[in-house]
Amino acid sequence: MCGILAVLGCSDESQAKRVRVLELSRRLKHRGPDWSGLYQYGDCYLAHQRLAIIDPASGDQPLFNEDKSIVVTVNGEIYNHEQLRKSLPNHKFHTGSDCDVIAHLYEEHGENFVDMLDGMFSFVLLDTRDNSFIVARDAIGITSLYIGWGLDGSVWISSELKGLNDDCEHFESFPPGHLYSSKQGGLRRWYNPPWFSEAIPSTPYDPLVLRRAFENAVIKRLMTDVPFGVLLSGGLDSSLVASITARHLAGTRAAKQWGTQLHSFCVGLEGSPDLKAAKEVADYLGTVHHEFHFTVQDGIDAIEDVIYHIETYDVTTIRASTPMFLMSRKIKSLGVKMVISGEGSDEIFGGYLYFHKAPNKEEFHHETCRKIKALHQYDCLRANKSSSAWGLEARVPFLDKEFINVAMSIDPEWKMIKRDEGRMEKWVLRKAFDDVEHPYLPKHILYRQKEQFSDGVGYSWIDGLKAHAALHVTDKMMFKAANIFPHNTPTTKEAYYYRMIFERFFPQNPARQTVPGGASVACSTAKAIEWDASWSNNLDPSGRAALGVHLSAYDNKPPAAANGNLMPKIIDNVPQIMEVGAPGLTIRS
């Protein structure tokens, strides 16, 4: 991931302003440690901090069209750039960068070209011919982006809050799937897929269509000129990503440069569920597996850095971001610059355990739509910023535009969780890859029960965070919480502790407003309570809120039904907390 910063129409062309823009851009250097660039045209500044993944030698930014009248600074990857180049035969490209097509597409199609891009991206494009500009963010919000306004009427754009929070009168998250046009003077949504209206789809489920769509989504993300690997927790989503990648790696240009053996990475407390499952999957697939261990104290020590980088005080996001933050640092130390990850599947297929309580297919579908639309505030934010903190890029094939269209067109009746019929959560995805002749994964991995990431790395992780927060937040502080934090008032000591740290880094009111909802009860838990009032007794936003649903163990030899369905045995209690005490962050390969 790169870092972009733009200041547009600031009425200040002085050297002092240029120095200030450079200073702010350096706050994003962690996102792009490989090179930096700044282009100034009058009172407009476009800055870039580059993480070189495609064409490391010549793809420095900002990028230009032939006569340099159009300037672009981009964060992201355009997976269909080669096809787009072929559609522009009369244009000359200066670099091999995948992002080089953007300026030329604008020349040909004007502002309406954004939907032609297949990838994850945030960009600012300046047309010096009329001093106009456009800003756009990818469909789901995989890349992070913020917009701000100065007192002088200037528009500010930054990959992270820290690039603009000190210099703007107001700022906010740039909405995914939107475009800002200076000519139109505002935002408009360019991403308008059929599912966005939340109308109930009716396409029958075809497992082979779903399988091909996801394989294509993974394969296109093997486009790289640098070493890469896969994040492997041992759960369904990351395991499928690893399996498909391992199958298709040999035919890619990356394999010619870096070899055909896939590297996989997992993080957890000693003895955690994820470490065990990931090792089994890695052995099955034959990957070069790297197992990272951390202790509860390691994670607690990193909390301040994590909040500074991920720019949120949301409890669930911080819990899950911390292990990923620590893992990303270790991955980068091995010389790897890109990883493929499994975010998005649970939102698309209703994989969270509270979906067991969905009363009908209409409610099920509407909730998946809501979850996808909110991804940029939670899992996308976590994956993007936790990895970008160390100059590591995370790619997410489940959030491929074409794959989402296929998956969200399926009649949601097929996605419903029906225990009596042998259908667990994400059954349609599991069934699509349940290939008896050429298995993608062992059966018990393919049908492994869902774990929240912050639970899967080790159950004592959350308990350690709560205990630490209790030492630093008193009952008196909680009593006055609404006076101190009237917006999104924290209702637990853990939430209060994170909020104190966030406010120290980002004390502005617009900053705290970029974080959605309340901190103590996640939106998913609120929906679960609506579907089943008995869940209101458990306000913890982790996966452990799903009491009576969590399926923590499998039969040694689970019976395979005639249709290939498997159902693990159900227990009524949450898995026991594991006592863990591994000293220091260690690595096993």
Q: Answer yes or no: are the C-beta atoms of 520 and 490 closer than 8 Å.
A: yes
Three-class SS of 388-454: HCCCCEEECHHHCHHHHHHHCCECHHHCCCEHHHCECCCHHHHHHCCCCCCCCCCHHHHCCCCCCHH
Residues with a known catalytic role = 2
**H-only helix segments in 250-349:** 253-258, 273-285, 296-310, 315-333, 345-349
Neighbour-count burial of 172, counting CB atoms closer than 10 A to its CB (0-12 exposed, 13-18 middle, 19+ buried): middle
Burial 405-417 (b: 16+ CB within 10 A, else e): ebbbebebbbbbb
Q: How large is the angle between the packed helices 460-472 and 315-333, nearest 10 degrees?
A: 110
Nearest to 179 by CA among 139, 219, 238: 139
Of 146, 183, 177, 105, the closest CA to residue 7 belongs to: 146
Helix axes 379-388, 296-310, angle to 10 degrees: 100
Q: 407 is written with which tokens?
A: 């998956």
Instruction: Give the span between the Cα atoms of 7 and 386, in whole angstroms.
Output: 25
Q: Residues, the chain, total?
A: 589
461 touches 295 (CB < 8 A): no
